[in-house]
């Protein structure tokens, strides 16, 4: 068991390193850099010598490999460097923006899971009726709605028409309701689809017939026997979808004017603020890898068949 | 007259599909207290639908169209699922077909046995735990406390079936529906499970509706027999009477087609003196490395020879090493040591192009014809494909050969354009045979090739194989768990048990004078024999005694 855990952690570290290297190479391949974009502006009236000096300060003039080694070294000590645009350490920017995005993403994810489970169990209970066809077509609808459009529509309907959720000076929780919904809807769709399919598939297994033949009620069979087996494969997908959630947060935060990693990323991209982008990539990759690591390590506890056999 | 436990009157069951399919068409039958009634039929006869309808667990699109099901004199046909829950498990219970799929993989054995007690409010807490252990002990599981904490994948098929029997008898129901309870098990395990059901039935006076495709099992275990075909009853009566003097033509054919040990053995083709065997296997050993660094010896010193134009059978239960042996002979598995000579070529040293050419001479036919045929290929391209892999053959020559081989295996040319799913099990196996024969091999390995087929189809395929052997001079290596079939088709036989060859010789010698205790048990376990030799009821212990080699 320990060997398995160590191997999985080793893999996770490897993935993080690969993400760092790949993003470094890609970001360096872009023409120009943040220093040039900011200080070549004629308003500053800087001479080429002065610019070269600033470039040396930000350590963007060394060889590619030297820069790579320097930023990898800094990263290992927890130093993400300076944001050229804002002139503050990137870690300070992350400290401000990360909690907001994590709250949004976790709430969005939780809502998506509830939504998906609701759809799947409704579909399972309505087996054999027309309602079922309707329920089963909802995920396809959810997945085809663009996030930005959904956000705008939700604001239109709930804030302006129904005046249920204020947009001007909302409370800390009120301001989250619509963004969380916007984020949850597209994520819930694939979860619901897979859960519905698994429930239907498990329903035909003979151990379900045996449970019914024991005299167990419909609800008991569904929750104790069918659901426990059906959620297992969903777990993997859920881990992967969390990555999509971070991407979705960029659009959602922009639409709702929230500050967070999403809006930070958007600003950094338009100003080619490489240190910030690099940090965002690393932090997202770390969260993604951590979640999938947890999923992998949780499997043997949820499915006894995956537990390494002791001594056998 | 006593009230029957189960009284089915004119039952009709159908399945919704594009074309509604009627599975059971007006069946009436009765089961009286303490009686064993066997419901016998081939696949598609509606026997399982009847069983499922009684316990109210018809598959998704199935429904009862008409008739009545009376349990202890009460009509339960129109009962809601909720009302049926009180009856299911308590009055009527189920022993299912496939023990591996019938236990929830993520729940412990104990929890699954316990469930039937708590659902019906018969026991809770410590008392329920004690009852679980009692039940597991009752069905002959060793170390019941350990078993209760284990998960299904940690138990063998026979042990899982014992757990399911424990669940079925937990509340001492009046009726148990046993739906092919042993068809997924090895023959010696099957015997022990059937003995166990018999024993518990004696103890509790439970009636059993025994659904099976195996006439031998039905003959041994039932007092009354009902023969089904196409959802209708063909014949009904005391088991002994039907076996001796079947009235309907269908039952007569079923009895005639069932392979039987009492049938005269085939005339053994003696090899001409001095003829070299086509296949010579000498002291074959195959080890597999285990993840913990140990070694598992799957095949331990197997030797046999097969003369050209004869059939050698390898008999054994699951885990006996028979599959590893044939994979080595077919050149898929490299043996750890030993020699395999096929038509003068050493299968061990072949690689690359010579191995590819070697495959021409050795072809395989598998157990499950649907799984071994590509569902997207037409029958023509399935049979043609092997020809494309070797020296180029012109297109019209290929078409001619495919047509000729199709003729040989007894299929019409109209079959060529169809796809595997549109064919019956027997037709599919004929196609698998055609595909094997198109390269004109010398050796055909038949891996349980008739085991999944209904008896009448099985009889047809066996006679086709015999005919092809006589006409084309084929040599067969025939792997089976069914001794009766082996007796019918093979010239010589090897019996394997736990990797070792415990018996070897001509079919008559091994069947009449088995040298090992294991072979004797195997022959003893074949259903259909009990009628002749009714002796003491055997001890239903779960573990097999160690058999000396």
The 10s digit of each residue's pLDDT in B126-174 is 999 999 999 999 888 888 999 999 999 888 888 899 999 999 999 999 9
Question: Rounded mean pLDDT of A192-210?
Answer: 90
User: How many C-beta atoms surround the C-beta of residue B176 within 10 A?
Assistant: 23
Q: Mark whether A42 and A108 lie in a shared domain.
A: no
Token readout for A85 is 């645009």
Q: What is the pLDDT of residue A61?
A: 64
Contact criterion met (CB below 8 Å) for B185 and B157: yes
Q: What is the pLDDT of residue A40?
A: 67
Of B444 and B2, which is predicted with more confidence?
B444
Buried residues in B193-211 as b, exposed as e (16+ CB within 10 A): bbbbbbbbbeeeebbbbbb
Q: What is the pLDDT of residue B541?
A: 41
**pLDDT tens for each residue of B171-227:** 999 999 999 888 778 888 888 889 988 888 888 889 999 999 888 888 888 999 999
When pLDDT is cut at 50, 70 and 90, the band that residue B29 belongs to is very high
Tell me how far CA of residue B59 lies from CA of B21, B143, B400, in angstroms: 13, 36, 45
Interface mutation target, options A202, A210, A229, A312, chain B, most CBs of B under 10 Å: A210
Mean pLDDT score across all residues of chain A = 82
Token readout for B238 is 């005391």
Q: Is residue A47 part of a domain?
A: yes
Of A216, A217, A304, the CB nearest to B151: A304
State the nearest Cα–Cα gap between A226 and chain B, in angstroms.
9
B106 contacts chain A (CB < 8 A):
yes
Distance CA(B484)–CA(B257), nearest Å, equals: 11
CA nearest to A28, candidates A312, A288, A272? A272
Q: Is residue A186 part of a domain?
A: yes
Range of lowest pLDDT (A184-193, A196-205, B228-237, B538-547): B538-547
Question: Rounded mean pLDDT of B247-266?
Answer: 75
B6-15, strands of its sheet edge to edge: B21-31, B6-15, B62-71, B74-75
Of B94, B105, B151, the CB nearest to A213: B94
State the Rg of chain B over Cα: 25
Q: Is residue A291 part of a domain?
A: no
Residue A153: which CATH number?
1.10.3720.10
Q: Mark whether A131 and A260 lie in a shared domain.
A: yes
B337-342, strands of its sheet edge to edge: B295-306, B279-289, B337-342, B345-346
A129 contacts chain B (CB < 8 A):
no
Q: Does domain B279-287+295-525 have CATH number 3.40.50.300?
A: yes
DSSP letter (8 states) at residue B440:
-
Domain housing A182: 97-270
Q: What is the pLDDT of residue B401?
A: 92
Of A207, A215, A232, the CB nearest to B104: A207
Is A130 strand, coil or helix? helix
Token readout for A207 is 């151990």
Q: What is the pLDDT of residue B455?
A: 84
Is B46 strand, coil or helix? coil
DSSP letter (8 states) at residue B317:
-
Contact criterion met (CB below 8 Å) for B190 and B527: yes
Q: Is residue A193 part of a domain?
A: yes
Domain ranges of chain B: 6-257, 279-287+295-525
A248 Cβ contact list (under 8 Å, min separation 6): A108, A147, A183, A186, A187
Q: Mark whether A265 and A139 lie in a shared domain.
A: yes
Distance CA(B61)–CA(B16), nearest Å, equals: 5
Q: What is the pLDDT of residue B119?
A: 92
State the nearest Cα–Cα gap between B35 and chain A, in angstroms.
21
Of B59, B88, B107, the CB nearest to A215: B88
Distance CA(A216)–CA(A219), nearest Å, equals: 8
Architecture of domain B6-257: 3-Layer(aba) Sandwich (3.40)
Question: Rounded mean pLDDT of B265-293?
Answer: 74
Angle B186-B182-B223 from CA coordinates, rounded to 5°: 125
Around B45, how many Cα atoms within 13 Å sit in the side-chain half-sphere?
Answer: 21
B111 contacts chain A (CB < 8 A):
no
Q: Is residue A299 part of a domain?
A: no
State the nearest Cα–Cα gap between B542 and chain A, in angstroms.
20
Q: Is residue A310 part of a domain?
A: no
Interface mutation target, options B61, B102, B151, B176, chain A, most CBs of A under 10 Å: B102
For chain B, what percent of residues have pLDDT higher than 90?
39
When pLDDT is cut at 50, 70 and 90, the band that residue B268 belongs to is low
Q: What is the pLDDT of residue A112?
A: 92
CA nearest to A296, candidates A305, A306, A286, A287? A306
Around B427, how many Cα atoms within 13 Å sit in the side-chain half-sphere?
Answer: 14
Question: Rounded mean pLDDT of A272-292?
Answer: 86
Q: Mark whether A150 and A29 lie in a shared domain.
A: no
Q: What is the pLDDT of residue A245?
A: 81
Contact criterion met (CB below 8 Å) for A177 and A108: no
State the nearest Cα–Cα gap between B87 and chain A, in angstroms.
7
Number of structural domains, chain A?
Answer: 2
Q: Mark whether A108 and A66 lie in a shared domain.
A: no
Question: Rounded mean pLDDT of A195-207?
Answer: 89
**pLDDT tens for each residue of A125-157:** 887 678 888 888 888 888 888 878 888 888 888
Q: Mark whether A70 and A141 lie in a shared domain.
A: no
Q: Mark whether A64 and A200 lie in a shared domain.
A: no
Q: What is the pLDDT of residue B265?
A: 52
Q: Mark whether A134 and A263 lie in a shared domain.
A: yes
Is the fold of B6-257 the same as that of B279-287+295-525? yes
Of B265 and B29, which is predicted with more confidence?
B29
Q: What is the pLDDT of residue A70?
A: 80
**pLDDT tens for each residue of B482-527:** 888 888 889 999 999 988 999 999 888 898 889 999 999 888 888 7
Residue B304 has pLDDT above 60, yes or no: yes
């Amino acid at each position: 068991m320990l060997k398995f855990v160590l191997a999985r952690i080793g893999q996770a570290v490897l993935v993080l390193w690969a993400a760092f290297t790949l993003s470094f190479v890609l970001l360096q391949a872009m023409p120009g850099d943040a220093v040039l974009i900011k200080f070549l502006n004629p308003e500053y009236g800087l001479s080429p010598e002065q610019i070269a000096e600033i470039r040396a300060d930000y350590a963007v003039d060394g060889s590619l490999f030297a820069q790579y080694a320097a930023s990898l070294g800094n990263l290992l000590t927890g130093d993400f460097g300076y944001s050229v645009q804002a002139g503050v350490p990137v870690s300070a920017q992350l400290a401000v923006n990360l909690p907001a995005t994590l709250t949004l993403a976790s709430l969005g994810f939780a809502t998506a899971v509830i939504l998906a489970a609701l759809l799947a169990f409704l579909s399972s209970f309505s087996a054999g009726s027309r309602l079922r066809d309707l329920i089963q077509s909802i995920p396809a609808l959810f997945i085809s709605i663009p996030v930005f459009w959904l956000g705008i529509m939700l604001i239109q309907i709930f804030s302006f028409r129904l005046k249920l959720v204020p947009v001007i000076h909302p409370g800390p929780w009120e301001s989250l309701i619509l963004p969380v919904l916007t984020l949850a809807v597209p994520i819930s769709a694939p979860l619901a689809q897979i859960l519905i399919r698994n429930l239907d598939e498990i329903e035909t297994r003979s151990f379900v017939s045996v449970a019914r033949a024991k005299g167990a009620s419909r609800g008991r069979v569904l929750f104790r026997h069918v659901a426990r087996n059906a959620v297992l494969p969903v777990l993997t997908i859920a881990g992967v979808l969390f990555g999509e959630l971070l991407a979705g947060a960029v659009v959602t935060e922009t639409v709702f004017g929230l500050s967070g990693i999403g809006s930070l990323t958007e600003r950094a991209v338009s100003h080619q603020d490489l240190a910030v982008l690099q940090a965002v990539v690393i932090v997202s990759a770390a969260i993604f890898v951590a979640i999938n690591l947890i999923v992998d390590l949780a499997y043997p506890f949820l499915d006894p068949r995956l537990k390494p056999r002791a001594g056998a | 007259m006593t009230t029957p436990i189960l009284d089915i009157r004119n039952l009709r069951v159908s399945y919704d599909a594009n074309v509604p399919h009627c599975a059971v068409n007006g069946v009436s039958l009765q089961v009286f207290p303490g009686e064993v009634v066997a419901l016998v039929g081939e696949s598609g006869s509606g026997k399982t639908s009847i069983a499922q309808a009684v316990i109210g667990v018809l598959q998704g699109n199935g429904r009862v169209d008409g008739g009545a099901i009376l349990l202890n004199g009460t009509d339960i046909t129109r009962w809601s699922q909720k009302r049926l829950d009180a009856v299911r498990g308590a009055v009527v219970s189920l022993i299912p077909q496939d023990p591996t799929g019938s236990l929830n993989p993520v729940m412990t054995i104990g929890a699954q046995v316990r469930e039937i007690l708590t659902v019906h409010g018969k026991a809770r807490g410590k008392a329920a735990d004690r009852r679980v252990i009692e039940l597991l002990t009752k069905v002959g599981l060793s170390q019941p406390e350990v078993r209760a904490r284990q998960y299904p994948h940690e138990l063998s098929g026979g042990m899982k079936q014992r757990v399911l029997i424990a669940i079925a008898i937990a509340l001492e129901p009046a009726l148990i529906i046993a739906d092919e309870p042993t068809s997924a098990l090895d023959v010696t395990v099957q015997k022990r499970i059937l003995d166990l059901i018999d024993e518990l039935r004696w103890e509790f006076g439970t009636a059993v509706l025994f659904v099976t495709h195996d006439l031998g099992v039905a003959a041994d275990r039932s007092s009354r027999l009902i023969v089904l075909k196409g959802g209708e009853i063909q014949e009904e009566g005391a088991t002994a009477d039907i076996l001796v003097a079947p009235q309907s033509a269908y039952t007569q054919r079923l009895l005639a087609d069932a392979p039987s040990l009492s049938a005269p053995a085939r005339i053994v083709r003696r090899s001409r003196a001095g003829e070299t065997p086509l296949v010579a296997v000498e002291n074959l050993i195959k080890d597999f490395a285990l993840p913990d660094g140990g070694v598992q010896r799957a095949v331990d010193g197997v030797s046999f020879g097969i003369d050209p134009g004869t059939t050698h059978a390898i008999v054994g239960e699951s885990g006996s090493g028979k599959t590893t042996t044939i994979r080595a002979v077919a050149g898929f598995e490299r043996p750890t040591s030993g020699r395999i000579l096929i038509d003068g070529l050493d299968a061990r040293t072949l690689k690359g192009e010579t191995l590819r050419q070697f495959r021409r001479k050795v072809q395989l036919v598998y157990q499950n014809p649907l799984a071994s045929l590509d569902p997207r290929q037409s029958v023509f391209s399935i049979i043609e494909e092997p020809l494309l892999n070797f020296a180029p053959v012109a297109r019209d020559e290929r078409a001619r050969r495919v047509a000729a081989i199709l003729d040989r295996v007894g299929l019409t040319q109209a079959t060529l354009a169809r796809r595997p799913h549109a064919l019956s099990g027997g037709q599919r196996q004929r196609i698998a045979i055609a595909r094997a024969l198109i390269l004109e091999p010398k050796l055909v390995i038949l891996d349980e090739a008739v085991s999944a087929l209904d008896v009448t189809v099985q009889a047809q395929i066996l006679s086709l194989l015999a005919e092809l052997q006589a006409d084309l001079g084929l040599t067969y290596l025939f792997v089976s768990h069914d001794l009766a079939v082996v007796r019918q088709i093979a010239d010589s036989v090897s019996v394997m048990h736990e990797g070792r060859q415990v018996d070897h010789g001509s079919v008559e010698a091994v069947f009449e004078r088995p040298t090992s205790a294991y072979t004797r048990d195997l022959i003893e376990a074949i259903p259909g024999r009990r009628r002749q030799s009714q002796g003491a009821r055997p001890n239903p212990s779960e573990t097999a005694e160690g058999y000396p080699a």
